[in-house]
Amino acid sequence: MRVLYGIVGEGMGHATRSRVVLEHLLASGHEVRVVVSGRAHKFLTDKLQGRVGVSVDEIVGLNLSFEGNELDVADSLITNIEKIPDALKKNVDVYQGVIGSFDAQVAISDFESFTYFYARVNGIPVISIDNMQIINRCRHDRFVTADKSFAFRVAKLAVKAKLPGAYHYLVSSFFFPPVRKPRTTLVPPILRPEILAAKRERKEHVLVYQTAASNQDLIPALKTLPQRFRVYGMGRTGEEGNVSLCAFSEVGFVDDLRTARAVIAGGGYSLMGEAVHLHVPMLSVPIRGQYEQELNARYLQRLGYGQFAEELSAEVVASFLEQTDAMEGALARYAPHDNRVLFACLEELLRDVDLNEPAPQRLSTKALGAWDGPELPPHLAAAIENDEDETVTAQQKKG
């Protein structure tokens, strides 16, 4: 099939997991046109260089600004508003001049809006593959939402508005809450081949991944502790006492991760999923203002795989490292998965699209979570999609 694939460029996790899906699509004989923004464009261009049946085009996406470990909402809004005119012109040119001649049969979006809108306008089915939709399409206990109910509702509305009415939602996750909406399937974390090939070999260093280089309080705090730390993402290299500042290297990073006593990072889903897969305890310090990261961290802690902290300090790190043995015990009960569940679900959906089948409320492929209610007529399925749960329940009881 001819597949149009859109990838959001903010955060490299979207690009690394999309690379896995893209390589599967190419190996399966599909023809793919990729549109992507930001750093993800160069990453995917390099990874897919020389591959037959794929081309990668750059569009302009939104960017987030940070101050320390906090999302700078005002600066993010100003920056993105200023770039809207040029971004629209660039993206429209790409879609009209390049994508318009591709004649896509199906679109896949990793939380990327322009591909979604192009597909909807042109009557092309859209398959969503990401981790974000778990906020809206699953039911969460109060331990996730109780003291953050407003932030949760805002995040839920934002995610719901991103890709409404998709043909199906494949949601990647290491936690599996009940699915509350049809056309939703939970799959394990999407893992790059380097992680699947890595073998756990615990040593004593602690891996630190810092995405905000402006967080200048980090290194002084780590230097007060007795452990050895290997820190990526600070924008410089060298040795500062017990802290090694590392230049980014995919091979070096994966090796440090698989051998780490523990990992300290933000709340980004991709690294968290990799750490859980490799059974490495994790201290998660989400970026303030990004509720999706906090949700990931709360589930990580609830399952015993790590800890959630709002602030990073020497005391927080010391307390976390005292408890990693217990976390390793919990992680030992997590069964690692490769990408075969995802691939099987995706191929089932592509077959359905090719046969012009209506969007399935559930897949026949076995997964780790799916809609388990009755097959619903279109008007009830639409009511659930619009969060009219009480109306649906009453009508189901009536019927």
Whether residues 238 and 351 share a domain: the answer is no
Whether residues 235 and 299 share a domain: the answer is yes
* CA–CA–CA angle 326, 327, 331 (5° rounding): 125
Residue 96's pLDDT is: 73
Whether residues 217 and 320 share a domain: the answer is yes
Whether residues 380 and 289 share a domain: the answer is no
What tens digit of pLDDT does each residue of 240-250 get?
A: 999 999 998 99
- Mean pLDDT over 16-30 rounds to 97
Least confident among 7-11, 38-42, 324-328: 7-11
- Mean pLDDT over 106-131 rounds to 93
Whether residues 171 and 225 share a domain: the answer is no
Say if pTM beats, i.e. exceeds, 0.85. Answer: yes
CA distance 326 to 131: 27
Binned at pLDDT 50, 70 and 90, residue 12 comes out as confident
What tens digit of pLDDT does each residue of 57-108 get?
A: 888 655 443 344 444 344 434 444 554 556 666 667 777 766 767 899 999 9
What tens digit of pLDDT does each residue of 285-310 get?
A: 998 878 889 999 999 999 999 999 99
Whether residues 28 and 168 share a domain: the answer is yes
Residue 71's pLDDT is: 41
Whether residues 169 and 229 share a domain: the answer is no
The CATH number for 287's domain is 3.40.50.2000
What letter represents residue 108's amino acid? Answer: I
Name the average pLDDT for the chain.
Answer: 87
Residue 63's pLDDT is: 45
Residues sharing a CB contact under 8 Å with residue 161, sequence separation 6 or more, in sequence order: none
DSSP 242: T
What tens digit of pLDDT does each residue of 190-242 get?
A: 999 999 999 999 999 999 998 765 567 889 999 999 999 999 988 899 999 99
> Residue with structure tokens 């990647």?
172
CB 314 within 8 A of CB 221: yes
Whether residues 115 and 184 share a domain: the answer is yes
Whether residues 186 and 211 share a domain: the answer is no
Evaluate if residue 23 carries a pLDDT over 90: yes
Q: What are the helix and strand counts (H, E) for the chain?
A: 17, 17
What range does the domain containing 362 cover? 2-192+339-398
User: Comparing 82 with 322, which gets the higher pLDDT?
Assistant: 322
Task: Tell me how many domains the chain contains.
Answer: 2
Whether residues 246 and 349 share a domain: the answer is no
